Amino acid sequence: MKIYHNPRCSKSRDSFNLLTEKGFNFETIEYLKTPLKKEELKDLLVKLNIPAKELIRKGEADFKVNFKGKELSEEQWVEAMIQYPKLIERPIVVKGDKAVVGRPIEKVIDLIGK
pLDDT tens digits, residue range 73-109? 999 999 999 999 999 999 999 999 999 999 999 999 9
For a pLDDT cut of 90, what percent of the chain falls above it? 98
Domain ranges of the chain: 2-113
Alpha-carbon distances of 63 from 56, 68, 80, rounded to whole Å: 8, 6, 9
Q: How many CB atoms lie within 10 A of CB 57?
A: 14
By annotation, the residues acting in catalysis are 9
pLDDT tens digits, residue range 53-70? 999 999 999 999 999 999
Of the CA atoms within 13 Å of residue 43, those in its CB half-sphere come to 10
CATH of 2-113, one of 3.40.190.10, 3.30.420.10, 3.40.30.10, 3.10.150.10: 3.40.30.10
91 upstream amide cis, omega within 30 of 0: yes
d(CA 76, CA 58): 15
Residue-level pLDDT at 114: 61
What length does the chain have? Answer: 114
Residue-level pLDDT at 63: 98
